[in-house]
Amino acid sequence: MMMMSCRNIDLGTSVLDLMPCGCSCTTSSPTSRQLLFRNCSKNVCRIGGRSYGGNLMLLRRDLGTCRAVPAKPKENYLVNGIGQDKTVVLNLKPESQKPISLENLFEVVADDLQRLNDNLLSIVGAENPVLISAAEQIFSAGGKRMRPGLVFLVSRATAELAGLKELTVEHRRLGEIIEMIHTASLIHDDVLDESDMRRGKETVHELFGTRVAVLAGDFMFAQASWYLANLENLEVIKLISQVIKDFASGEIKQASSLFDCDVELDDYLLKSYYKTASLVAASTKGAAIFSKVESEVAEQMYQFGKNLGLSFQVVDDILDFTQSTEQLGKPAANDLAKGNITAPVIFALENEPRLREIIESEFCEPGSLEEAIEIVRNRGGIKKAQELAKEKAELALKNLNCLPRSGFRSALEDMVIFNLERID
């Protein structure tokens, strides 16, 4: 189909952006949800195995992959006088936007994720039935597979840049290694936090005991390290090995600052990097390395993962105050109850001396925890934390500018938006 440069056309009170014609549903503004209108009168556009030609079509990015439906006659005025073989982008009002779902977001790598799911239990190993049971418990607990999904999205986006037509064995193994490391960290986190619920199910240590849970986590770390070594890429080995070290550093940093109201935002961000963003950043950079792209692109993918991971952690910490136990799949305000000072608390402490008194007393008075939660919710802590999450999200979107326009890049952009939509 005909390619064209991007320009704006003013149609009354709205501005419609003309975009390059293609079936990857790309947009010029990744932070806005959009509909694409295409008038293909001379050419045939193939989408999802079907051919469309000569009719106005509506393409929706929020479906996860490029799809089309014939436009209704009343929509024709949107392209009246604009010409043929052009794509017009219409920004939707917030109230008419459809939220992004992970299912749709990962649809472009659905086959990759299914293959990963089929392999996960087999690569854990079958030496011990108890370990297999523990692995089945955590792998079947409704996990979103967000980290391997990111691996596959970045792998395919950077593979296009490098001219690769298919993912390598190393790309796929990296996704499995990342999910094993993440799973091991969850098992250990639940032991340290004494959590009895994870994603609405009983935790491994609640079912099998602390000893088995610790050993199961250790085993998964070891198994992941073994597969990592077999990738025989020293740069990626160093990258992922640092993540395991960062996990421990994050836990130590958190444990040493419980109920400490003097924790600063930079300390919180460093701890969040150790515990969350480090793995995401290593995942996305590792994927780029295996695509053999330029080092500058690989570094941008690292920064993308870091900024996205930090934004996700801030959003999770906000949800700890705004969602119920049923929604979270774990006790609400659990971090605050255990003395873990997160972004909403840090911001609320700036103007509320009473909150400091309550936290430093370690909630010794009846009702003091509930009072602290209300202060955080109603004294600006949530709002400022939302601004921080959006700041990191904007940086993540900028990191994607080095990638060519594709459905995979669009999905990465939508991942950033999906995270922010959790707190809308």
Residue ranges and CATH numbers for the domains of the chain are 102-422 (1.10.600.10)
pLDDT of residue 297: 97
Task: Output 208 or 282, whichever has higher pLDDT.
Answer: 282
pTM metric for this prediction: 0.75
In 3D space, the residue among 193, 306, 291 whose CA is nearest the CA of residue 243 turns out to be 306
Residues contacting residue 409 through CB under 8 Å, at least 6 positions apart? 26, 157, 400, 403
**Predicted confidence (pLDDT) per residue in 13-53, tens digit:** 332 233 333 344 433 344 443 333 333 333 333 333 333 33
Residue whose structure tokens are 């199910």:
201
- pLDDT confidence band for 200 (50 / 70 / 90): low
Instruction: Look at residue 59 and give its three-state secondary structure.
Output: strand
In 3D space, the residue among 296, 305, 291 whose CA is nearest the CA of residue 402 turns out to be 296
In 3D space, the residue among 418, 416, 335, 421 whose CA is nearest the CA of residue 381 turns out to be 335
pLDDT surpasses 80 at 424: no
pLDDT surpasses 50 at 411: yes
CA dist 398 and 303 (Å) reads 10
Contact 176, 119 (CB under 8 A): yes
Burial of 75 (0-12, 13-18, 19+ CB in 10 A): middle
- 284-313: b or e for each residue (b if 16 or more CB lie within 10 Å)? bbbbbbbbebeeebbebbbbbbbbbbbbbb
Task: Output 37 or 103, whichever has higher pLDDT.
Answer: 103
pLDDT surpasses 60 at 207: yes
- pLDDT confidence band for 362 (50 / 70 / 90): very high
pLDDT surpasses 70 at 349: yes
In a 13 Å sphere around the CA of 14, the CA atoms on its Cβ side amount to: 11
pLDDT of residue 289: 98
pLDDT surpasses 60 at 416: yes
- pLDDT confidence band for 328 (50 / 70 / 90): low
CA dist 219 and 206 (Å) reads 18
pLDDT of residue 330: 63
**Predicted confidence (pLDDT) per residue in 249-294, tens digit:** 999 999 999 999 999 999 999 999 999 999 999 999 999 999 999 9
pLDDT of residue 216: 85
- pLDDT confidence band for 232 (50 / 70 / 90): very high
Average pLDDT, the chain: 78
pLDDT surpasses 60 at 96: no
Contact 289, 233 (CB under 8 A): yes
Mean pLDDT of 356-374: 95
Mean pLDDT of 203-220: 86
Structure tokens at 135: 């692995």
pLDDT surpasses 90 at 98: no
